[in-house]
C-alpha cells in the first residue's frame, strides 16, 4: 500500500514539476543533454533558457526535481539540430526570406542558448535585413549577444549583426564592435570587421577611406582569409568606379573573376550588378 502511494505521489510530483516547467516563459522545452561543470554530472531531459533570470531550467527525465543552472555551471550542451533549421536555411539561400521567417523565429524562441540559436539568428537577421526590417534584425541580435557574448566570435553572425547596425546608422556602437574585433578577435572575424569599416566610410561618402581603411586593407593584409576576398574585391571595384578610376576597378573585377569565379560577388559582376 505504501509502495503504491509512494509511486502515486512521485507521479504527481513529476506532473506538477512538468506543469510548472512548461509555464515558465513562452519557449517550448527542448530535449537535451547537459554536462555540469566541475562534477561532470550528465542530465538528460527537457531544457530551456529563461532570459529573465539568465538560467537554464532543466527537468531531468523521470525526476520531480527541476535544476536551475547558470551558464557557468554548464560545461557542455548537446541538442539535436532542429530539422526546420536546414529547411529555413535553404529558403534564405534561395532568396525566399519572408517564407523562412516564421520557422526561424520559432527556433530562436525555443532554442535560445541551446547550441543552434546563433546559426538561426544569423539567417533570421539576414531575412529581416532582406525584407527591409533592419531595426528588428538588430534588436534580435542584441538579445542574442546579451545572453551570449560569445556569439560575436562567430564571423557569420557578427557580420550580419554589423550590417544591421550599419543600416540603422548606429555608427558609434558599430565602430566600437569593429575595433574590438580587429584588435582582439581571430583573423577571420577581424577581416569581416575590416570590410565593415570600409562600408561605414562608403556610406558616409568617403570613398578614399573606404578603400584604404576597408577594402584594400582587407585584400592586402587578409589574403589568407579567402572567405572575405570576393566581397572586398567587389566593393573595391565599386569604389574605384565611383572615383572614375576605371583601370583599377577593372583590375579588381578581373582578380575576382579569376580567383573566385563561383562566388556570389563574381555572379554579380557577370550580371552587371
| pLDDT band for position 273 (cuts 50, 70, 90) | confident
11 or 165: whose pLDDT is higher? Answer: 165
Minimum mean pLDDT among 63-67, 131-135, 253-257: which range? Answer: 63-67
| pLDDT band for position 25 (cuts 50, 70, 90) | very low
Q: What is the pLDDT of residue 87?
A: 97
Return the residue matching grid coordinates 525566399: 96
Q: How many helices (H) and strands (E) does the chain have?
A: 13, 5
Domains within the chain, CATH numbers bracketed: 2-79 (2.30.30.100), 83-271 (1.25.40.10)
Give the CA-trace dihedral at 148, 150, 152, 156, to 10 degrees. -100
Q: State the DSSP string of 17-64.
A: HHHHHHHSSSSPPEEEEEEETTT--EEEEEEEEETTTTEEEEEETT-S
How far apart CA 59 and CA 36 sit, in angstroms, is 14
Residues 164/138, Cβ–Cβ less than 8 Å: yes
Give the CA-trace dihedral at 23, 29, 32, 33, to 10 degrees. -10
| Cβ-Cβ contacts under 8 Å for 66 (sequence gap 6 or more) | 17, 20, 21, 57, 58, 59
Measured in whole angstroms, the distance separating CA 232 from the mean position of its chain's CA atoms is 21
How far apart CA 131 and CA 47 sit, in angstroms, is 32
Q: Which of 185, 27, 22 is nearest to 117 (CA)?
A: 27
Q: What is the pLDDT of residue 14?
A: 42
Q: 238 phi and psi, to 5 degrees?
A: -60, -40
Range list of β-strands (E), the chain = 30-36, 42-50, 55-60, 67-69, 74-79
> Full-prediction pTM beyond 0.85?
no
Amino acid at each position: 500500500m505504501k509502495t503504491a502511494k509512494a509511486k502515486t505521489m512521485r507521479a504527481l510530483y513529476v506532473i506538477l514539476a512538468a506543469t510548472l516547467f512548461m509555464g515558465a516563459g513562452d519557449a517550448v522545452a527542448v530535449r537535451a543533454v547537459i554536462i555540469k561543470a566541475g562534477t561532470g554530472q550528465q542530465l538528460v531531459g527537457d531544457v530551456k533558457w529563461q532570459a529573465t533570470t539568465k538560467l537554464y531550467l532543466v527537468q531531468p527525465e523521470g525526476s520531480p526535481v527541476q535544476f536551475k543552472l547558470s551558464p557557468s555551471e554548464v560545461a557542455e550542451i548537446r541538442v539535436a539540430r532542429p530539422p526546420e533549421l536546414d529547411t529555413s536555411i535553404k529558403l534564405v539561400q534561395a532568396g525566399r526570406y519572408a517564407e523562412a521567417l516564421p520557422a526561424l523565429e520559432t527556433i530562436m524562441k525555443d532554442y535560445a542558448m541551446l547550441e543552434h540559436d546563433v546559426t538561426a539568428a544569423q539567417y533570421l537577421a539576414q531575412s529581416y535585413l532582406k525584407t527591409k526590417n533592419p531595426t528588428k534584425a538588430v534588436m534580435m541580435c542584441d538579445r542574442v549577444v546579451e545572453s551570449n557574448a560569445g556569439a560575436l566570435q562567430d564571423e557569420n553572425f557578427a557580420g550580419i549583426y554589423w550590417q544591421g547596425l550599419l543600416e540603422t546608422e548606429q555608427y558609434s556602437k558599430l565602430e566600437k564592435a569593429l575595433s574590438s574585433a580587429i584588435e582582439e578577435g581571430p583573423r577571420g572575424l577581424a577581416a569581416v570587421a575590416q570590410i565593415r569599416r570600409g562600408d561605414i566610410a562608403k556610406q558616409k561618402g568617403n570613398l578614399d577611406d573606404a578603400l584604404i581603411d576597408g577594402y584594400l586593407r582587407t585584400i592586402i593584409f587578409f589574403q589568407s582569409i579567402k572567405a572575405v576576398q570576393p566581397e572586398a574585391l567587389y566593393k573595391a571595384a565599386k569604389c574605384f568606379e565611383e572615383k572614375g578610376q576605371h583601370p583599377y576597378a577593372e583590375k579588381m573585377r578581373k582578380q575576382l573573376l579569376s580567383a573566385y569565379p563561383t562566388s556570389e560577388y563574381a555572379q554579380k559582376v557577370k550580371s552587371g550588378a
